[in-house]
Copies of this chain bind each other. A is one copy, B any other.
């Protein structure tokens, strides 16, 4: 039966993504979804499970709209039973450990609903990667980013800020600010006012994602949900921060800020207090990538993309408009590791003109008062395909 259903997905629209979530609803406004917690997400995969879920929705009276870019429905006991039935006893029995995670979700829901049925579970399908329209689909996309199902900057999150609600977060639980207002007097006098840890539209990465064994995040406030951290990444608690849709693609030491849309490649080092500007803060909308093995010194500011094997000295700012002196000799050496760079020599280059180049050491010459660039001693592995 399951096999037939799997084939039947072709009758429906294949979802780009789907999953079942527990949602937190407003304390005052019970119709408001404040957060969606997914135990398992599916991104361009597991179409068999999608077929079972869609068929079970239809069979339990839900009209699934395949025309819209996304679809959200409540999860009912009837739906859970129907879907488990379609999967069949054998698969259900096998669904433990790393196997058949979508079925494991149903099994736990069956347990829960056998006790009492709740109204705070939802199933969400994304059919097209357009602007998200629901809290459930925003979260599904943030999961895809943070669980490394999709590359950074590859999916559409436009308008996410408008969809999410600003909440007071008490641990992993979002609370409506209006609820606190309505109950402030009683909560405070009865010593029951909650410990609000932050007020934001987004939750934190660690409230939803279990990092790889060799990832360290020394303070949960430093990584927003929707950020992506590759194995081997360490985020220190000083001045660091990684925004959503930003992060690392390999082992990186992060002691500075990786602003929205910025990406840092393997082996790079973001020094203490170093700032990588984001698309919302001074880069004219060009997202910044920091190349492999590149070092950003303590309290440096980087406003242009950097290639592999660069060094930005501590305390300096390399922005799009920064005028940087290069000697003829060093200009030639830089060309050697950037064969695709067709510039003519001139004394001063603007930061933007050096964007993305490999193997440059940026330094402020404290004897001449000039910002200078020269060939760094860091290794640069040239991309074979370019030669």
Residue numbers of A with Cβ under 8 A of B are 22, 37-40, 97, 101, 104-105, 108-109, 112, 121, 166, 168, 171-172, 177-178, 180-182, 184-186, 188-191, 193-201, 206-207, 210-211, 213-222, 224, 236-241, 255, 257, 259, 271-273, 275, 277, 281-282, 297-301, 303, 313-317, 319, 322-325, 348, 364-371
Q: List 7 A-B contacts (CB under 8 A).
A: A199-B218, A218-B224, A236-B241, A241-B272, A282-B314, A322-B366, A324-B366
What residues of B have a CB within 8 angstroms of the CB of A213 in the complex? 166, 177-178
Whether A214 lies near B166 (C-beta < 8 A) is: yes
Q: Which chain B residues border A199 with CB–CB below 8 Å?
A: 206, 211, 215-218
**Closest 4 interchain pairs by CB?**
A369-B369, A315-B317, A238-B241, A366-B371
> Are A191 and B273 interface neighbours, CB within 8 A?
no
Docked CA distance A79–B277 (Å): 58
Known contacts A38-B188, A217-B198; decide if A281 and B273 are in contact (CB<8 Å).
Answer: no
Candidate in A219, A298, A369 with the most chain B CB atoms within 10 angstroms = A298
With contacts A210-B177, A238-B257, A271-B281 taken as known, whether A299 is within 8 angstroms of B297 at the C-beta atoms is no
Q: Determine if B257 and A273 form an interchain contact, defined as CB atoms under 8 angstroms apart.
A: yes
Contact call A216/B238, Cβ cutoff below 8 A: no
Interface contact B189-A105, CB-CB below 8 Å:
yes
Q: Which residue of B lies closest to A324 (CB)?
A: B366
Whether the Cβ atoms of A39 and B364 lie closer than 8 Å is no
Give the residue among A112, A180, A200, A239 with the most B Cβ atoms within 10 A.
A239
* Residue of B with least CB distance to A369: B369
CB distance from A145 to the nearest CB of B (A): 18
Q: In whole Å, how far is A103's beta carbon from the nearest beta carbon of chain B?
A: 10
Distance, CA A301 to CA B323, complexed state (A): 21
Complex Cα–Cα for A105 and B210 (A): 37
- Least CB distance from A79 to B in Å reads 14
Taking a contact as CB atoms under 8 Å apart, the answer to whether A301 and B301 are in contact is no
What residues of chain B lie closer than 8 Å to A207, measured between beta carbons? 193, 195-196
Contact A367 B282 (CB under 8 A): no
**Residue of A101, A168, A282 ringed by the most chain B CB atoms within 10 A:** A282
- Which residues of chain B come closer than 8 Å to A301, judged between CB atoms? 297-299, 314-315
Closest partner residue, chain B, to A190 (CB atom):
B112
**A188 vs B207: C-alpha distance when bound (angstroms):** 10
Tell me the minimal C-beta distance from A131 to chain B in angstroms: 21
Q: Which residue of B lies closest to A277 (CB)?
A: B298
A109 and B108 CA atoms in complex are apart in Å by 40
Residues of B within 8 A of A168 (CB): 206, 210
Most chain B CB within 10 A, of A121, A201, A366, A370, is at: A366
Tell me which residues across on chain B come within 8 A of A319, comparing CB atoms: 313-314
The minimal Cβ–Cβ distance linking A74 to chain B, given in whole angstroms, is 15
Contact of A314 among B22, B112, B198, B317 (CB under 8 A): B317
CA distance A255 to B257 in the complex (A): 10
What residues on B are CB-neighbors of A275 within 8 Å?
271-273, 298-299, 314
Q: How far is the CA of A37 from the CA of B187 in the complex (A)?
A: 10
Residues of B within 8 A of A224 (CB): 218
CB of B314 within 8 A of CB of A299, answer: no
